[in-house]
Amino acid sequence: MPKEVSHPELDDVPLAKVLSALGDPVRLYVMGVLADGREHVRSDFTVSVGQSTFSHHMKTLREAGLMRQRMEGTRCHVSLREEARRRYPAVLESVLAAARAERADAPAS
Protein backbone atom coordinates (compact mmCIF):
# COMPACT_ATOMS: atom_id res chain seq x y z
CA MET A 1 0.00 0.00 0.00
CA PRO A 2 1.48 3.41 -1.01
CA LYS A 3 2.46 5.83 1.69
CA GLU A 4 0.04 8.75 1.77
CA VAL A 5 1.71 12.16 1.88
CA SER A 6 -0.09 14.96 3.71
CA HIS A 7 -0.49 18.38 2.16
CA PRO A 8 -1.59 21.41 4.17
CA GLU A 9 -4.74 23.34 3.47
CA LEU A 10 -3.60 26.62 1.93
CA ASP A 11 -5.87 28.56 4.28
CA ASP A 12 -3.72 27.20 7.13
CA VAL A 13 -0.41 28.35 5.61
CA PRO A 14 0.61 31.93 6.46
CA LEU A 15 2.10 34.05 3.66
CA ALA A 16 5.31 34.38 5.70
CA LYS A 17 5.82 30.60 5.47
CA VAL A 18 5.38 30.71 1.68
CA LEU A 19 7.87 33.57 1.35
CA SER A 20 10.33 31.83 3.66
CA ALA A 21 10.12 28.66 1.57
CA LEU A 22 10.93 30.68 -1.54
CA GLY A 23 13.94 32.31 0.14
CA ASP A 24 16.50 29.63 -0.74
CA PRO A 25 18.36 29.20 -4.07
CA VAL A 26 17.78 25.43 -4.25
CA ARG A 27 14.07 25.79 -3.57
CA LEU A 28 13.81 28.63 -6.11
CA TYR A 29 15.44 26.36 -8.67
CA VAL A 30 12.97 23.55 -7.83
CA MET A 31 10.05 25.96 -8.19
CA GLY A 32 11.44 27.08 -11.54
CA VAL A 33 11.43 23.48 -12.75
CA LEU A 34 7.93 22.88 -11.37
CA ALA A 35 6.61 26.04 -13.04
CA ASP A 36 6.19 24.10 -16.29
CA GLY A 37 3.08 22.52 -14.73
CA ARG A 38 4.24 18.93 -15.21
CA GLU A 39 5.05 16.20 -12.72
CA HIS A 40 8.75 15.63 -12.04
CA VAL A 41 10.95 13.00 -10.41
CA ARG A 42 14.29 13.45 -8.58
CA SER A 43 16.37 12.94 -11.73
CA ASP A 44 14.74 16.04 -13.26
CA PHE A 45 16.53 18.27 -10.74
CA THR A 46 20.23 19.01 -11.15
CA VAL A 47 21.32 20.27 -7.74
CA SER A 48 24.64 20.06 -5.92
CA VAL A 49 23.26 19.06 -2.52
CA GLY A 50 23.01 15.64 -0.91
CA GLN A 51 19.85 13.56 -1.05
CA SER A 52 18.86 14.26 2.56
CA THR A 53 19.31 18.02 2.06
CA PHE A 54 17.30 17.88 -1.16
CA SER A 55 14.55 15.94 0.64
CA HIS A 56 14.46 18.64 3.33
CA HIS A 57 14.03 21.33 0.64
CA MET A 58 11.19 19.37 -0.94
CA LYS A 59 9.50 18.93 2.45
CA THR A 60 9.79 22.68 3.09
CA LEU A 61 8.06 23.45 -0.22
CA ARG A 62 5.34 20.86 0.46
CA GLU A 63 4.69 22.17 3.99
CA ALA A 64 4.45 25.71 2.59
CA GLY A 65 1.66 24.47 0.33
CA LEU A 66 3.60 25.11 -2.87
CA MET A 67 4.23 21.59 -4.06
CA ARG A 68 2.21 18.39 -4.39
CA GLN A 69 3.97 15.07 -3.79
CA ARG A 70 2.73 11.68 -4.99
CA MET A 71 4.37 8.33 -4.34
CA GLU A 72 4.32 5.60 -6.98
CA GLY A 73 6.17 2.57 -5.71
CA THR A 74 9.55 3.87 -4.60
CA ARG A 75 9.41 6.91 -6.87
CA CYS A 76 8.34 10.30 -5.67
CA HIS A 77 6.55 12.53 -8.20
CA VAL A 78 6.26 16.24 -7.48
CA SER A 79 4.40 19.11 -9.10
CA LEU A 80 3.45 22.70 -8.43
CA ARG A 81 0.12 22.94 -6.61
CA GLU A 82 -2.31 24.71 -8.90
CA GLU A 83 -4.15 25.95 -5.79
CA ALA A 84 -0.98 27.80 -4.77
CA ARG A 85 -0.59 29.30 -8.24
CA ARG A 86 -4.18 30.60 -8.01
CA ARG A 87 -3.87 31.82 -4.42
CA TYR A 88 -0.51 33.62 -4.86
CA PRO A 89 -0.29 34.38 -8.60
CA ALA A 90 1.60 37.66 -8.33
CA VAL A 91 3.97 36.36 -5.63
CA LEU A 92 4.90 33.20 -7.51
CA GLU A 93 5.21 34.85 -10.92
CA SER A 94 7.33 37.72 -9.54
CA VAL A 95 9.65 35.48 -7.57
CA LEU A 96 10.06 32.97 -10.40
CA ALA A 97 10.69 35.75 -12.95
CA ALA A 98 13.35 37.27 -10.69
CA ALA A 99 14.96 33.84 -10.20
CA ARG A 100 15.04 33.27 -14.00
CA ALA A 101 16.61 36.69 -14.55
CA GLU A 102 19.20 36.03 -11.85
CA ARG A 103 20.16 32.70 -13.44
CA ALA A 104 20.38 34.34 -16.88
CA ASP A 105 22.73 37.01 -15.50
CA ALA A 106 24.94 34.49 -13.67
CA PRO A 107 28.34 33.85 -15.24
CA ALA A 108 28.64 30.50 -17.00
CA SER A 109 30.48 27.89 -14.95
Mean pLDDT, residues 34-58: 91
The whole domain housing 26 covers: 11-99
Q: Within a domain: residue 86?
A: yes
In a domain, 1, yes or no: no
Residue 6 has pLDDT above 90, yes or no: no
Give Cα separations from 61 to 7, 66, 89, 104 (angstroms): 10, 5, 16, 23
- Is the model's pLDDT at 108 over the cut of 70? no
Question: Cα Rg for the chain, rounded, in angstroms?
Answer: 14
Give the pLDDT score at 102: 75
Q: What is the pTM of this model?
A: 0.86
pLDDT at 40 over 60: yes
Mean pLDDT of 60-70: 94
Per the model's pLDDT, the better-predicted residue between 46 and 4 turns out to be 46
User: How far is C-alpha 62 from the chain's CA centre?
Assistant: 7
Give the pLDDT band (50/70/90) at residue 1. Answer: very low
Question: What mean pLDDT comes out for the span 61-67?
Answer: 95
- CATH number, domain of 41, equals 1.10.10.10
In a domain? residue 79: yes
Structural domains in the chain (count): 1
